[in-house]
Structure 1
C-alpha cells in the first residue's frame, strides 16, 4: 500500500467531530506540554498545524503570551479554532511547509499532534526553525502510536482481527515519528541544540463503551476515516471485536492511558 493510499482515510474537515474524537484528550496533553516548556510571558507564539486550536487555547490561557498565531491547512479546522479563539490569538489557513511569517519573527514555535501528517516532516521542522528567533525554542508533541496510545492500539488490534487488510493502516506502522529516538534525530537534524524528549501521559476516561465508540463514527482522522469506508456489516464486526477487547469497570466505564512524546530544541543564537 502506497503513502497516497494510506492517506486516503486521513480526513480533516469537521472541527466539532475532531473535538469529540481526539481534541478532548489532546488538551490535557497541551497543558502539561506548556508547563514543561516553562517559558516566560509576553512572547509571540506560533502554533503550527493548530487543528481545532487546543494547543493555542492552552498557550493563551496559561502562558501570558503577547500574541498567538495559529495556522492549519484545513479551512474547517481553522474556522473552528478561530471561533473559539480569545483576544490576542489569530488563526490563519496555511501549510506547515510555507509559514506566513518572516524569518526569526516568533519567540516560540510549537506544534501538537501534527508532525506525522506532514510530508515531509523535515521540511516543516525546517520552516519552524526559520520562523523562530535566534535562541528561541522549537517544540512539539506526538502520540506514542508505538505502544503508549491505548485507544488506537485496541482499535487497530480489533480492526485487524475483523479485517486483516487493516494492518497496513495501523498508525503504529504508518507513523515512525512516535518514539524518542526518531524525534530527537529530527530535531538534531534541523540544527536545533540542547534537544530533549520527555513522555507525557494522561488518562482517557469514557463513561461507557458507547462513549468510546461513537467518536470513531465521525470520520475525522485515520481510524474513523477507515471505519467510515467499511460496509455496515464489517463496521459492526469491528465494533463487536473492540467491545470484547476493551476493559470495562463494574459501572461500565472505560479507563485507558494516552502517552505522547514531547520534544524541544533551541535555535542557535
Structure 2
C-alpha cells in the first residue's frame, strides 16, 4: 500500500500541504526549535516545517524506503531516517508532529506515548474520514453501492476510534499531555476534471486505491462511472477536505 511515492502525491500528498501550513500556524511554535516529523511520508509536512516554522533542524522518520527516497529529493534541507511511530529509539526533539499517520499505526496509544517521551510539544492531524474528506467519502459511498464488501474497508468506519475529535483528545491526555486542544482545518481540493479526480484511485497507494486494486476491472469501472454521474460534468470539481488537528504539551 505504501510503495509508491509519486502515486501518493497524486492521491493525497498534494492536499496534505495546505493542511500542513494551516496546522503549523495553529501550533504557533517559536522559531529555532528542533522538529521530528513521524511518518513523514513523501515530506509534505517536513517541507512545510522548513518553510514556515524556521526550525533549528528537522528530521523525518518513516518506515517506507520508497517514500523516503522521494522525500529526500523534494526536501533537501531536512534529514530522513527509516523508523516507526511506536519505537523512536534515542531520538529527541523540541517538537514531534505527525500528519495523516496515526490511523495506520497498529498501536496508536503506544505511538502517542512515544511522541510524548521524546518531545515536550506534540501535535498531529488526521483526515476527517467520516464526512469531512469529501473525495474519500464520495469514493467509499460509491464503492459500497457497487460492492457490499467495501463496508469493511471504509475508512470512515475503520478509523472512527482514532480520527474524530474525542478519541484524539483522549489519546493525548492518556499519554500524559496537558493543555490538549483539538481543532478542524478545512482546505479546498479542486480537481481539473474527472480524470484528475479518479486517476489517483487507480494508483494503488493509500487505503482506497489499495482496495480498488483488489477489484475486478468491471467493478472498478462501475465505481468510476457511478462517481462520474455524481460529480459535475463540466469544469473543475470543487471539493473540500477537513482534517482534525490535536496538540498538547508534556
Q: TM-score, normalised by structure 1?
A: 0.91
Aligned to 1:92: 81
Are residue 62 (structure 1) and residue 52 (structure 2) matched? yes
State the 1:93 CA deviation: 0.7
How far apart are the structure 2 equivalents of 1:206 and 1:252?
9
Are residue 163 (structure 1) and residue 152 (structure 2) matched? no
Are residue 257 (structure 1) and residue 240 (structure 2) matched? yes
Aligned mate of 2:43, from 40, 53, 56: 53
How far apart are the structure 2 equivalents of 1:137 and 1:244?
46
- TM-superposition CA deviations, 1:79-100 (whole Å, max 9, x none): 111121232x100011111114
Show the 5 A alignment for 1:124-163.
124-132=111-119, 136-163=120-147
Are residue 234 (structure 1) and residue 200 (structure 2) matched? no
Aligned to 1:180: 165
Aligned to 1:201: 186
Please identify runs of 4+ aligned residues in structure 1 that moved more than 6 A.
Answer: none
Please tell me whether the aligned partners of residues 168 and 174 of structure 1 are also in contact (alpha carbons under 8 angstroms): yes
How far apart are the structure 1 equivalents of 2:150 and 2:74?
35
User: The residue matched to 1:194 in structure 2 has which SS?
Assistant: strand
How far apart are the structure 2 equivalents of 1:153 and 1:197?
22
Aligned mate of 1:113, from 89, 100, 120: 100
How far apart are the structure 2 equivalents of 1:151 and 1:253?
14
Structure 1 residues not aligned, in runs of 5+: 1-10
Aligned mate of 2:4, from 1, 11, 14: 14
